Structure 1
């Protein structure tokens, strides 16, 4: 009997490490599952931002172009998804050198490929397929911003070509520099969710397109003073911004790639929301003071500019600093939009002011407001100027902004310049007057309204600026 008891005890002792290991393995699997679900939800939120862009941009442009502006969102995201899967993701996050990734093309979702090709993403326990979906959503946002500069006058055929080249040749290079183990990553650039990687890149490409396409017909008088060409539906624009605001809770908090621990993604959501609120209020107030009227489009741009700015800083700054960053973004964007328009830059949706200037400010702001504790917690860079870090981190941030802007501007200019002098970037004058809905797609986004206008004005209605 004693022998049986002793044997049972020894068996339990031998089995205990196995049971403990199984318990640990189950806990690790549960953690990975929770993180995976969270990041997948975040990816869906960011992809849903495409709906926000469609509503914002179509509402901010004229009725005769509304269907085209909204519809190209689907086209460009579809092209981006295939190109990023085939090549772009590997260039951005694949193992390689300080300039570009050289592995991980044609993502297959296997553990073997993830371990062999994507060491820069090895810190997270979620599946590589979910990591791809999350990063694809970011690339799609950057591309959507870029096409804001083409609004109301760009050829549909250019969307096919530039979508592929931006997703393969432009976006992933800078993404690799900052997030994929590239040279900016090695010197400690802080860009948590992409003020530079996503927003400045897209905005810079939009600026190049705007400059090469030239202003829309009727935008400027002979003395170069600008005319107001209002969007056709502010309600759509407001709804678009609300969707983008909600989507940003996937954009920034999702970039933690984790729902475990102390719930740091909630802190990122807090700073993100505070900045957006401050930006919208500040922009409305400054427009009221400057224009004498509380301008709704300015308020919307203030919200978006603040969200763009806090995207880099959300994980590095305290809540009070997020309010300051957001409020400054709203004011800066209002004045830079006015300045660019008076300077002859016809940017229909103010892509460069909202995503470019605010992206620069947001990236630089971490070099001012980043705390030592949060920088250490995230393991990137150092404290900012106000927290005893001196000018070192601010210098790193400035170098990153400068490098990204120059690279994207030059490559975009070369690509779009070649296209301009070969197949052309812009629709004909007649097509632009008629509207891209009809000239590019054969039907209007608002067929009943446009037919009514044509019936009332006859052929002359075809030359209206509706």
Structure 2
């Protein structure tokens, strides 16, 4: 930092050059420093001076992670495992683009900017909240038995010799991967509350969800919590059909119920279709999500081993089955194939195998996706009939099929990565695992509905409601919330 002093008149200048702090002795340095400080008179100078303690604090925080530990030579397996998880993380993060495209395309053009802003900004919020406290709540040390965990604010990014020797994961890579999952849960909410929620209120809710609600629930399964230890094998959710997808869906459903339907959705008690404005963008989004899911499911192996290709195969077959099932049923019910149902069928198939991609056979994965694709068509219709407005079918895809994907393990799952023994009811594994899976799905639904209802209500009470005005909704949230249009200068239909 340098300070500019006003040059004195020539008759007051000294011929001898003033010594700098670097040139004086250790004893004279502090005296000279405080003499300089007394020269600070402008507000700008005082502002810069106020940054000093913040800078020192910053240095103290960042230097705590620097430890002079002798690290062993990096093994090939250590590098490959961490490189694979980093690639998988990037794929999962890129899914945010897919969610943004699907939601934008399936909604009206007058709300496109709002939807894009939510999907883009929510990931930044999720990563920040998860870094601050969420990761610690999810993967910290036990605080209250197997129910609550906490390891302090932030996390220790230090790479230890033990981590390298055991070919473990670098803490920062593991954090990024888990943060991407937290962001996915928050993004799902956006689709359910689209086209009528205030931007700021949605932002606050996303922070609460990713900082507290999602991490606490996730620890019950993925950090050795009580669900993970329930029964002989524990609750099984390999990549998050319930932990991620249903939590996001239930959170969004509560918001959708409290918001009420969009203007014009129900006229005279009858459901009115509100078509999306851009199916090419929605289709592109579905394909991006399909590709991103190869980070979501195979990446959850947390290592590059012989099972990663298998997980990719079950993921692909689940998506294929979902697309086929949704296309067949939508063609039968509406007489023509519906592109929105094909899109949701693909996503439903992917969600349907997310929990059991490691415990389903290839045939079982395809059939699980097929059933998920069939379910999603009826779920969309049922939700509309119940008076709940879900603009993009997010609850049908992530909530209903998240529960289905959780239960299917208890129906025809196998211990494929172990001894290959059956664990599902229909393949000779008995009722136990099905009961545990049903319990887990119910627990996540109950926890999320209760906590999110409280969160939505408190936010609404403090900020004067969570819904935009009727006029703002009619004009479009792009203008009302952001003061701009997605297609300015182009003639388009709302």
Asked if residue 35 in structure 1 is aligned to residue 75 in structure 2, the reply is no
Per-residue CA deviations over 1:206-240 (Å, capped at 9, x if unaligned) read 10011000000011012x11101000000000000
**2:78/2:168 contact within 8 Å kept:** yes
Task: Tell me how far apart the structure 1 counterparts of residues 394 and 368 of structure 2 sit (CA, whole Å).
Answer: 19
**2:195/2:473 contact within 8 Å kept:** yes
Per-residue CA deviations over 1:283-339 (Å, capped at 9, x if unaligned) read 011100111111110111010011011000100010000011000000001001001
Asked if residue 446 in structure 1 is aligned to residue 490 in structure 2, the reply is no
Indicate how the Cα distance of structure 1 residues 445 and 233 shifts in structure 2: closer, same or farther if over 3 A, else same.
same
Q: Structure 2 residue aligned with 1:337, among 355, 359, 380? A: 380
Alignment of structure 1 residues 203-222 onto 2, 5 Å:
203-222=249-268
Q: Structure 2 residue aligned with 1:259, among 292, 304, 318? A: 304
- 1:12 aligned residue: none
Asked if residue 108 in structure 1 is aligned to residue 156 in structure 2, the reply is yes
Q: Structure 2 residue aligned with 1:353, among 373, 396, 415? A: 396
Task: Tell me how far apart the structure 2 counterparts of residues 192 and 198 of structure 1 sit (CA, whole Å).
Answer: 11
**1:333/1:354 contact within 8 Å kept:** yes
- 1:287 aligned residue: 330
Task: Tell me how far apart the structure 2 counterparts of residues 114 and 446 of structure 1 sit (CA, whole Å).
Answer: 54
- 2:4 aligned residue: none
- 2:289 aligned residue: 244
- 1:462 aligned residue: none
Per-residue CA deviations over 1:5-50 (Å, capped at 9, x if unaligned) read xxxxxxxxxxxxxxxxxxxx75x72111000000000000000000
- Length, aligned pairs only: 416
**2:360/2:416 contact within 8 Å kept:** no
**1:375/1:383 contact within 8 Å kept:** no
- 1:90 aligned residue: 136
Task: Tell me how far apart the structure 1 counterparts of residues 449 and 184 of structure 2 sit (CA, whole Å).
Answer: 18
Task: Tell me how far apart the structure 2 counterparts of residues 104 and 186 of structure 1 sit (CA, whole Å).
Answer: 24
- 1:74 aligned residue: 120
What is the RMSD computed on CA atoms of the aligned residues? 1.9
- 2:478 aligned residue: 437
- 1:314 aligned residue: 357
Structure 2 residue matching 1:52: 3-state secondary structure? helix
Task: Tell me how far apart the structure 2 counterparts of residues 283 and 124 of structure 1 sit (CA, whole Å).
Answer: 42
Per-residue CA deviations over 1:39-80 (Å, capped at 9, x if unaligned) read 000000000000001111000100000111012111111111
**2:412/2:422 contact within 8 Å kept:** no
Indicate how the Cα distance of structure 1 residues 376 and 180 shifts in structure 2: closer, same or farther if over 3 A, else same.
farther
Per-residue CA deviations over 1:409-457 (Å, capped at 9, x if unaligned) read 00001110222233211001111111111111111011113xx46xxxx
Per-residue CA deviations over 1:130-153 (Å, capped at 9, x if unaligned) read 000100111111110012121000
- 1:421 aligned residue: 461
Task: Tell me how far apart the structure 1 counterparts of residues 167 and 466 of structure 2 sit (CA, whole Å).
Answer: 42
- Structure 2: tracts of 5 or more residues without a match: 1-71
- 1:233 aligned residue: 278
**2:346/2:373 contact within 8 Å kept:** yes
Asked if residue 396 in structure 1 is aligned to residue 396 in structure 2, the reply is no
Aligned-pair distance for 1:111? Answer: 3.6
- 2:196 aligned residue: 153
Task: Tell me how far apart the structure 1 counterparts of residues 167 and 338 of structure 2 sit (CA, whole Å).
Answer: 44
Aligned-pair distance for 1:275? Answer: 0.8
Rg (Cα) greater in structure: 2
**1:177/1:185 contact within 8 Å kept:** yes
**2:422/2:428 contact within 8 Å kept:** no
Aligned-pair distance for 1:376? Answer: 4.8
Aligned-pair distance for 1:364? Answer: 0.4
Aligned-pair distance for 1:105? Answer: 2.9
Per-residue CA deviations over 1:360-383 (Å, capped at 9, x if unaligned) read 000000111111443557xxx971
Aligned-pair distance for 1:385? Answer: 1.2
Task: Tell me how far apart the structure 2 counterparts of residues 200 and 123 of structure 1 sit (CA, whole Å).
Answer: 34
Indicate how the Cα distance of structure 1 residues 114 and 293 shifts in structure 2: closer, same or farther if over 3 A, else same.
farther
Task: Tell me how far apart the structure 2 counterparts of residues 241 and 384 of structure 1 sit (CA, whole Å).
Answer: 31
TM-score between both structures, scaled by the size of structure 1: 0.86
Q: Say which is worse superposed, 363-372 or 48-57, in terms of deviation.
A: 363-372
Task: Tell me how far apart the structure 1 counterparts of residues 350 and 256 of structure 2 sit (CA, whole Å).
Answer: 23
